[in-house]
Chain A
Amino acid sequence: MKLTCQRKELNEALQILGTIVSPAGTRPLYSNVRLEATKEAVIVSATDLEVGAKLKIPVEKVGEEGVVLVPHSHFSAILRETTASDLEFTEENLVMDVRGGTSHFRILCEGVDEFEDVTGFGDGPAVEIDREALAEMIRLTAFAIAGEEGPFALRGVLLSISGKNIEMVGTDGRRLSRVKKKVNNPEDATMQGIVPRKTLDLLAKLPGDAGGALALRIEERQIAGATSKGELRGQLIEGQFPDYERVIPKSGKIKVDMPVAQFLSCVRQAALITTEEQPAMRLTIQPGKVLFEAESADVGSADIDMACDYQGEECSLLFNPKFLIDVLRAIAEEQVRFEVTDSENAVAMRAGHNFVHVLMPITEGAGSGR
């Protein structure tokens, strides 16, 4: 193999693949990246057998085609530390020479025979969505999914496509985010699957042209994505996603419009005083203002006011401030509509036309004689 390639682009690709490759020592073969030189481009790919990505980098010149496995750790470190703008790679008998400026490295490589390469995007019905729109959808939903201790089916975002609509839902049983957008669906395909966190992160990062589209297809067990610069394929989570439609309140009794930035600031301030094990903050909506209160036996207390345009009866709820911070940080709009039914039922937070977040309050223990 012999080629010359821009260091910066290859470095960026290796950074993305770094989130996929297996940590040192666990599965040696898959701590490598696969480097392939073809006539048109260099293709680097990595997989952990759950999710894999294949990225294409245009090259100045491919002297000789070839394919080899390179240890990701050293390869990416070299790309990061060297200073030359172009690097020249020459591989022979599983030893690769990397030259750039005054630097010269020799890296021991491995053959690709045993390596299970990432399957490409393939054929079949697919939809197209703006890359940035998809990244925004992921940002608005991925924070709400369950962690590693949570129920299996909730450890990912449910992605559904039907007609011109794409919808993503993430929930951990206490809160739920749903966002909808439009897609280009030339074959009118209907598809659905639960996409795990790591795959979502990669989908959001998959490089492409500015303003370009991402092609997406959900197969029976896998999700595939493709841009002009890369392809991705990952396993879906198999499980029963809960019937989420019925937990989204149709409309709350109390509706208050709040400026997101100020709301977030108030919650963060109140959160400074909460206890670590049971972080709780009281949010009280009164005519003309919203009051944020927190108290901790060990530390002290906090109360913060925010003016608002509300005339109606007073209503007070307890929340885990972390959950409010999560959603407020994700919202890009300036205003959020806060809808409350009562202190025990879910509140809905709506921003723009397409986003709703549902959050269950906490209560002071059922034993306290509610």
Chain B
Amino acid sequence: MTIKVLSEDVANKIAAGEVIERPASVVKELVENSLDAGAKRVEIELEQGGADLVRVVDDGCGMSRNDLALAFLSHATSKLTTADDLFSVTTLGFRGEALPSIGAVSRARIASRQAGNDEGGEIECAGGELSAVKVCGIPPGTMAEAHDLFFNVPARRKFLRSSPTELSYISEIVTRVALSRPGVSFLLRHNGREIFNLPASEVIEQRIEAFFGREISENMIPITSAGEDMNVRGFILPPGVDRARNRMQFAFVNGRYVRDVSISHAIAEAYRGLMAPKRHPVVFLFIDILPELVDVNVHPTKIEVRFRNRQAIHQRVQRAIRNALRESHHVPAAVASTTGHEPVMQSHVSVEPSTGGFEESRRESVRKALEGFFESHSPRESGPPPRYVHPAPQGADQTVNTSPPITKAHAQAATVRIQPSGADAQSAQGPRFFQIHDSYIVEETPDGVNIIDQHALHECLLYHEIRKRLREAPLMSQRLLVPEVVELTQAEFLAVQGLKEEFEKLGFELDDFGASSIVIRAFPQMLDQFAGARMFRDLLAQVADAEGSSSVADIADQLIKALACKGAVKAGQRLSPPQMKALLERRDRADYSRRCPHGRPTTFSLGLRDLQKEFERSG
């Protein structure tokens, strides 16, 4: 084998791969250039999810014809000159990689005019081949476009996803940029259809409302914390207005959207004890920090940064959020100081702010948060005694939806007597089982004992059941008395558009409602209870998380998993003996039951032999 120096063409394509992954990266780089050029208005035009065309037009300072000639050359940048400048970068771009990368993998063209010049210039770069700079007429500013992305890298082109999916990535990028610059107006068009048109605004609130709807904007709590070397400001949402994923946590450092572990951790810590399990708060954070205290040159996409002092950032963010939560009465003293149950319950009763100024929804959110706190703390930690099965035939009362609460007397009796009288009757009627910690079913088997994760088992059964039924017919839809309107983010909305058919097969009946809301008229009957917008968003989030699954079939499968997960009994949910019995019987009839769709085991078996060994019995 001989070692060769790569040709410039190949080298550029490789380098381009790091910066330009998909149309959204082109949009990101071009829009950041526009902002660095001081644009007040940025217009983005797309065709076919950006795969056929990305065009960004701005009214920024423009480039001279001499600059244009250099624009597509590697590491040509107007933004820094010496290595030292790297440590005090204030522009969004600086590496001089963006345009050459775009030029290497598409048919790119830039036309630009500086405000002082009478005429502008244009230059083209197709697959790395540069044209000469020509004179052209153009209003002041810059127009940059990339046609046929990856036309010369078929392997990459093949990996582009459907146009709605690519569009949703772009929409996410534009959302981030637009949030960081409320003073700049943004227009996004796809195949001629307007997707956003955001006027410049003094305040960020309007922009947040435009993207995320009133549920968010009306409940926002401002946070602020000023310091010598760092300012933290922004908005947080109270517990209750939360999401199943942390995608609604936006952090901007010096106007640049970043994802940072210490910031995420600080947010989680600040909300600790207030969120229901597996829920994530919604947060918009704007951190201004001296440029020399942060290194943005960590990765070509610049989404990761490195702070000189992570500790300080963590502390400031956590404190700013915690203070705001406390001032807005979302951190009841009891929750903050102790995990005891009584004080929390009292705050449940009395925490409602007495000032009439709070909206209904805010009060509800407190309630929900506290409720969530309870769900996560009381039943499991307190460890209620196991409830033994009284396998009375269900008979006439099978439709009564709650089993009679077990009185303390019963419960205590069960803990005291290891062999309750009910157990004798049980053995005559088949296998014995009972629930522990409201989450697991313990079942006696002929040669040992099974411990079953009730959620995982039910989820597994549902998953296979849904798949089986879908082969025959769409799922049954339960229609709603009052159709439910769900406000979505643009990215979520587009995701729904791309998956409409799959949703319908699963029993949803959806219609568009305005530019970014949908109305749900029916939901899968399999979901025993439809919990509205929140549940729908959770479903979407689970589907969106299935990164890497490209075919519609994969996404549909993801949706089935999500539906099975939603439809299954939860950990922490008390089951009546007949419910447990039904679940175990269905397992016996099912073909697959050992692992849930996510691959977790559903059952842990312990053999009699193992038990005998543990107790040093010679069996």
Cα A73 to Cα B384 in complex, Å, equals 15
With A322-B399, A366-B509 already in contact, the answer to whether A174 and B364 are too (CB < 8 A) is no
With A150-B530, A365-B474, A368-B474 already in contact, the answer to whether A25 and B525 are too (CB < 8 A) is no
Q: Is B14 an interface residue (CB 8 A)?
A: no
Determine whether the beta carbon of A29 is less than 8 Å from that of B342.
yes
Determine whether the beta carbon of A72 is less than 8 Å from that of B508.
no
Determine whether the beta carbon of A240 is less than 8 Å from that of B399.
no
Q: Is A93 an interface residue (CB 8 A)?
A: no
Contact among A48, A171, A367 for B481, CB-based, below 8 A:
A171
B527 to chain A, nearest CB (A): 9
Residues in chain A near residue B233, CB distance under 8 A: none
Q: Is A364 an interface residue (CB 8 A)?
A: yes
Determine whether the beta carbon of A149 is less than 8 Å from that of B531.
yes
A38 to chain B, nearest CB (A): 26
Contact among A149, A240, A325, A365 for B504, CB-based, below 8 A:
A365
Q: Is A102 an interface residue (CB 8 A)?
A: no
* Complex: chain A residue closest to B510, CB-CB: A366
B398 to chain A, nearest CB (A): 9
With A29-B342, A149-B529 already in contact, the answer to whether A362 and B476 are too (CB < 8 A) is yes
4 further interface pairs, Cβ-Cβ under 8 Å (given A150-B531, A173-B530, A276-B586): A23-B405, A151-B532, A318-B476, A366-B509
* Complex: chain B residue closest to A246, CB-CB: B482
Residues in chain B near residue A72, CB distance under 8 A: 408
Residues in chain A near residue B411, CB distance under 8 A: 23-24, 73
- Interface positions, chain A 65-90, Cβ under 8 Å from B, are 71-74, 76-77
Determine whether the beta carbon of A24 is less than 8 Å from that of B480.
no
A341 to chain B, nearest CB (A): 12
Cα A186 to Cα B447 in complex, Å, equals 70
Q: Is B194 an interface residue (CB 8 A)?
A: no
Q: Is A212 an interface residue (CB 8 A)?
A: no
With A24-B412, A147-B529, A329-B399 already in contact, the answer to whether A240 and B382 are too (CB < 8 A) is no
Chain B 456-484, CB within 8 Å of chain A: the 1/0 string?
Answer: 00000010011001001111111111101
Residues in chain B near residue A368, CB distance under 8 A: 473-474
Determine whether the beta carbon of B407 is less than 8 Å from that of A365.
no
Residues in chain B near residue A235, CB distance under 8 A: 349
Cα A137 to Cα B219 in complex, Å, equals 37
Residues in chain B near residue A325, CB distance under 8 A: 399
B180 to chain A, nearest CB (A): 34
Residues in chain B near residue A318, CB distance under 8 A: 476
Could you list which residues of chain B lie within 8 angstroms of chain A, going by C-beta atoms?
Answer: 341-342, 345-346, 348-349, 352, 360, 363-364, 367-368, 378, 382-385, 399, 401-402, 405-409, 411-412, 462, 465-466, 469, 472-482, 484, 501, 504-509, 522, 525-526, 528-532, 567, 582, 586, 589
Determine whether the beta carbon of B474 is less than 8 Å from that of A366.
yes
Q: Is A238 an interface residue (CB 8 A)?
A: yes
Residues in chain B near residue A146, CB distance under 8 A: 529
A152 to chain B, nearest CB (A): 6
- Interface positions, chain A 228-278, Cβ under 8 Å from B, are 235, 238-240, 242-244, 247, 276-278
Q: Is A311 an interface residue (CB 8 A)?
A: no
Contact among B408, B466, B472 for A21, CB-based, below 8 A:
B408
With A150-B529, A239-B364 already in contact, the answer to whether A221 and B352 are too (CB < 8 A) is yes
With A173-B482, A326-B399, A360-B480 already in contact, the answer to whether A49 and B349 are too (CB < 8 A) is yes
**Pairs A–B under 8 Å by Cβ, sample size 30:** A23-B411, A25-B384, A25-B385, A26-B378, A26-B382, A27-B341, A50-B348, A73-B407, A73-B412, A76-B407, A76-B409, A147-B401, A147-B528, A149-B531, A150-B529, A171-B481, A173-B481, A176-B481, A197-B402, A242-B482, A277-B462, A277-B469, A298-B589, A318-B476, A320-B525, A365-B504, A366-B477, A367-B505, A367-B506, A367-B507
Q: Is A344 an interface residue (CB 8 A)?
A: yes
Residues in chain A near residue B589, CB distance under 8 A: 298
State the majority secondary structure of interface residues on A.
loop
Shortest beta-carbon contacts, A-B, top 4: A365-B474, A73-B408, A367-B474, A367-B505
Determine whether the beta carbon of A362 is less than 8 Å from that of B409.
no
Determine whether the beta carbon of B479 is less than 8 Å from that of A361.
yes
Q: Is A172 an interface residue (CB 8 A)?
A: yes
Residues in chain B near residue A48, CB distance under 8 A: 345
Contact among A143, A276, A346 for B401, CB-based, below 8 A:
A143
With A147-B528, A276-B586 already in contact, the answer to whether A24 and B408 are too (CB < 8 A) is yes
A283 to chain B, nearest CB (A): 15
Cα A365 to Cα B522 in complex, Å, equals 9
Cα A173 to Cα B360 in complex, Å, equals 21
